[in-house]
Structures are given as C-alpha cells and as structure tokens.
Amino acid sequence: EAGVVQSPRYKIIEKKQPVAFWCNPISGHNTLYWYLQNLGQGPELLIRYENEEAVDDSQLPKDRFSAERLKGVDSTLKIQPAELGDSAVYLCATSSDGRNEQFFGPGTRLTVL
C-alpha cells in the first residue's frame, strides 16, 4: 500500500509570493488533515476534511491560507501572500473510517526569505 504522497518536498520562496502544496492520500482514506509543524514543536492542525467537506478549519488563517479537496481525493493547500513566519513544515495526514491511526506524509519544508 502506497503511503501519503506530498509534493514538493522542499520549497524556497521570497516573502509575498504565493505557494501551493499538494497531497495525495492513501487510497480509500476519506479523512484528510493538513498540519503545520514549526521547528521543535508538534504538528498543529490547520484543516480537516471528511471527503470533500472541510469539517474543521478553525485554525486556518483564512486571510492568506486556502485549501481545497476536489472529488474528496487529492488536496491542495495554498498560501498567498507568504510571510516570513510561514516558514515551517506542512504535513498532510489521512485516515480511514473505523481506524484511529493517522498516516502522515513526509511533509513539505517551506522557507520564506
């Protein structure tokens, strides 16, 4: 079974530029999470999808962050415009009905200069 795929793995951009991250979940996993992980910290939830519906986006900074999960499969997280403080690792995780485990992708490491 293939794991959660994220791309790109690394991204370096100038501040005020837009950036997008992509996540492909494990086949059949209907719940998808985007987390932000700062250095030396644990993951913090940005948004959770159940199929194509965003059921928890209370921690997503909606002035600059947006996300979508078309057809309830792949998901994209976008930042526009990026700020210096957005430098972090962005993790995607997925889980299936009836299972407690969240499976994480390797993350995208964003550096904003």
Partner 1 sequence: QKEVEQDPGPLSVPEGAIVSLNCTYSNSAFQYFMWYRQYSRKGPELLMYTYSSGNKEDGRFTAQVDKSSKYISLFIRDSQPSDSATYLCAIGGSARQLTFGSGTQLTVLP
Q: Quick check: 77 binds partner 1 (CB under 8 A)?
A: no
Give the closest residue to 82 by CA, choosing from 18, 35, 11. 18
How many angstroms separate the CA atoms of 22 and 28, rounded?
Answer: 17
User: Exactly one of 12, 16, 44, 84 binds partner 1 (CB under 8 A); which one?
Assistant: 44
Nearer CB in complex with partner 1: 43/112? 43
How many angstroms separate the CA atoms of 25 and 89, rounded?
Answer: 17
The 1-40 site mask, x for binding partner 1 (CB under 8 A), equals ---x--------------------------x--------x
Minimum Å gap between C-beta 49 and partner 1 is 11
How many angstroms separate the CA atoms of 81 and 64, rounded?
Answer: 6
